[in-house]
Structure 1
């Protein structure tokens, strides 16, 4: 049965994280900066715990942590503060594992491992290392179970991307997954890179139909790429995919509030991140679909 995943926050105010801008933070003294970050980190750990309770109470077994859950944790000062909270993070991560809630992260668009700029690549690795550190502090396995999902980045740089991935520290490389996008890397291109680099592919059906200008999720290439992506997962039952619908039309790259159309083949996808603006409302709207999938699987098992 597919597991549906919540992305970062709820549409309601039940799960909301604090943050701080660089301008506001740097306007303070070093001591005040440390106090601000310490307060935010502690509050956000509590919010994360609330998110785990929410997921547990609502039958949600996949949760994407915000990439900015601990702002400025990619700095020496931020990481030092985060490490002082290691016992709390370990307890929070254990509660998620004990509850069977899978944790993943999706670092932001500034992560471009295929960039022509050595500085951009170095900054990208630093950001990824922060995400790996967070997963380590949460006690999550160094495997694609605790996935760090990124896009391919700069187009036509497959060789550079494969080469860079091979040099990544274990905390990153063992968790890394690559996702197809609308412009630079098609599903087929990302699949080829994943096969070469030994990392799993996160198939996004909406990105695929936008890139290929398709008129339906039932185009044969959607199921074909779903199955090809599964080949890249060492544990096929851990395969993760994304779904969203276009806001103003089927091929609109902007995400709609809800999910009105699901690819039929996604009934066989083990883990699905729901990338819809209305978050848990969209997940609730998919309960009938999930029930029909479950009933179909039960009927097939009886035959």
Structure 2
């Protein structure tokens, strides 16, 4: 089992800084800073047995925007290769997760086009690093019903370049698309399913978490990825916890096996350190 966290290490540096759209001339400096920070973060993670990481979509700010004139693929190549070398040498698992406006199955053509450009940026970033890595999205729009939403997703998936199709994974959500709905996407595209435990607890078809994991395991070649969080007390349904509940995480680890776990916990590396300690105590991972 590999355990990871999302986008930036708050005790080290900020790897997900961005700029305003009217300050695009600053992109090179910010991108350089983000990548230097990412490299430091990955090295720190390895020292603490954290071998899974979600790279921020803001690594190159506004990379897919039509107004972007900075040739980041050329200018950032050397630093991207350096980051990739750390990832490969230390066998770190990598993922990315574009934001809520990336909706591949939108009924609006302009949204689909901009979503594809955003996804291509993510795939190109990972390609230039020379690493394996999955790009995680939700099924998206349910306009016209879930069956129609799945049909649009499968249809638009065929528009993607091969380097992107090979990296895409789909995640169940907390309101509309369940694990079984995602299985319909898998049947139409062959892309793996990331099981989100909190989403599944709020939106399912009656399966236990263990049963849901059994359903998605067959969509993967190799170790499945899971997202983990628990409900923040006193907040609306689906709000991620501020910090890791050790009791909840122990209960979670009793149920799951042979998965890599991405923590979606707000205090990031602080909770990752606790999760690694607990996983070692439960013989889920070993020290390196």
> TM-score over 0.5 for the alignment?
yes
Residues 206-285 of structure 1: matches in 2 within 5 Å?
A: 206-212=198-204, 221-235=208-222, 237=223, 239-248=224-233, 252-260=237-245, 261-262=248-249, 263-264=252-253, 266-285=255-274
Q: TM-score, normalised by structure 2?
A: 0.89
Whether contact under 8 Å (1:223, 1:265) holds in the other structure is no
Which runs of 5 or more structure 2 residues have no equivalent in the other structure? none
Q: How far apart are residue 220 of structure 1 and its match?
A: 5.3
Inter-partner Cα distance in structure 2 for 1:226 and 1:250: 27
CA distance in 1, matches of 2:210, 2:104: 28
Which consecutive residues of structure 1, in runs of 5 or more, have no partner in the other structure? 26-32, 214-218, 299-303
Deviates more, 1:255-264 or 1:101-110: 255-264
Instruction: Check whether the contact 2:229–2:265 (CA below 8 A) recurs between aligned residues.
Output: yes
Any conservation in 2 of the 1:15–1:50 contact (CA below 8 Å)?
no
Seen in structure 2, the aligned counterparts of structure 1 residues 75 and 14 have a Cα distance that, compared at 3 Å, is: closer
1:150 to 137, 143, 152: 137
Cα drift, residue 293 of structure 1: 3.0
Once the two structures are superposed, residues 109-154 of structure 1 have per-residue CA deviations (whole angstroms, 9 ceiling, x without a partner) of: 111111110111011000000101111111123xxxx000000100
Whether the 8 Å contact between 1:186 and 1:211 is mirrored in structure 2 is yes
Residue 252 to residue 234, structure 1, CA distance change in 2 (3 Å): same
What is the SS of the residue equivalent to 2:201?
A: helix
Which position in structure 2 is the counterpart of 1:69? Answer: 59
Q: Using the TM superposition, give the Cα deviation of residue 72 of structure 1 relative to its aligned residue in structure 2, in angstroms.
A: 1.5
| Alignment partners' CA distance in 2, 1:254 and 1:107 | 18
| Partner residue in 1 for 2:45 | 55
Whole-angstrom distance in 1 between the partners of 2:27 and 2:102: 23
Q: 1:78 to 1:133 in 2, by over 3 A?
A: farther
Checking the alignment, whether the CA contact within 8 Å between 1:240 and 1:269 is kept in structure 2 is no
The partner residue of 1:193 within 157, 182, 185 is: 185
Whole-Å Cα distance in 2 between the matches of residues 42 and 78 of structure 1?
16
Quote the RMSD (CA, aligned, Å).
2.2
**Range that drifts further, 70-79 or 119-128:** 70-79
Cross-structure match for 1:87: 78
Q: Which has the larger radius of gyration?
A: 1
Of 155, 162, 169, 2:161 maps to 169
- Of 87, 104, 114 in structure 1, the residue corresponding to residue 95 of structure 2 is 104
Runs of 4 or more consecutive aligned structure 1 residues displaced over 3 Å after TM superposition: 13-17, 75-79, 264-267
- Corresponding residue number in structure 2 for 1:28: none
**C-alpha deviation, 1:282, in angstroms:** 1.1
* Matches of 1:120 and 1:200, distance apart in 2: 23
For residues 201 and 79 of structure 1, the distance between their equivalents in structure 2, rounded to whole angstroms, comes to 34
Measured in 2, the distance between the counterparts of 1:43 and 1:272 equals 27
Taking the aligned partners of 1:38 and 1:60, their CA distance within structure 2 comes to 29
In structure 1, distance between residues paired with 2:96 and 2:70: 17
* Richer in helix (by share): 1
Tell me the distance in 1 between the aligned counterparts of 2:54 and 2:104.
21
SS at match of 2:226: strand
| 1:104 aligned counterpart, secondary structure | strand
Alpha-carbon distance in structure 2 between the residues aligned to 1:175 and 1:284: 28
Corresponding residue SS for 1:6? strand
